[in-house]
Amino acid sequence: MSVERQCINNPNHVFFVPNYKIKEGKGRFCSKKCEYEHRQKPLVIIERFFERIDKIILEPCWICDRKPLSTGYTNFTFTRNRKEYCILPHRFSWFIHFGKIPKDMFVLHECDVRRCVRPSHLFLGDHDLNMA
């Protein structure tokens, strides 16, 4: 059994998806090309970033739910203009909320929780401050 769906990237594209694919969370795009184009959009990248953040009201930190690396940090990977980028989530959070990070500056955590991406817990500092 198949269901008629509209493509998320291009609502003018109508296609049919088997029920089992919908249950698996698939069948949102009419083609791989549309899925790729959709994932390139800046707002989609930001939405994907926030899907990975646990914002618990009673907790002060917003924790990135990705598995931490041996350093205690996590990675956020995305593709833009056919180039793959890998960035630390707290740096991406700073970029989203405050803009570019100046050269030779570090994004530091006021809370000292490496997986925290809450903007109010982040501040800029130099290498010496980072090592203190």
Give exposure, 103-122, as e/b (b: 16+ Cβ within 10 Å).
eebbbbbeeebbbbbbeebb
pLDDT at 21: 80
Give exposure, 30-42, as e/b (b: 16+ Cβ within 10 Å).
beeebbeeeeeee
In this predicted model, what pLDDT tens digit does every residue of 2-61 receive, in sequence order?
888 888 778 888 888 888 887 777 788 888 888 878 777 777 788 888 888 877 766 788
Which residue, 116, 48, 47, is CA-closest to 88?
Answer: 116
Asked if 87 and 69 touch (Cβ cutoff 8 Å), the reply is no
Entry pTM: 0.68
In this predicted model, what pLDDT tens digit does every residue of 88-124 receive, in sequence order?
999 999 999 999 999 999 999 999 889 999 999 999 9
CA gap 123, 76 in Å, rounded: 19
pLDDT at 36: 79
**Cα-flanking dihedrals φ and ψ of residue 52, to 5°?**
-100, 10
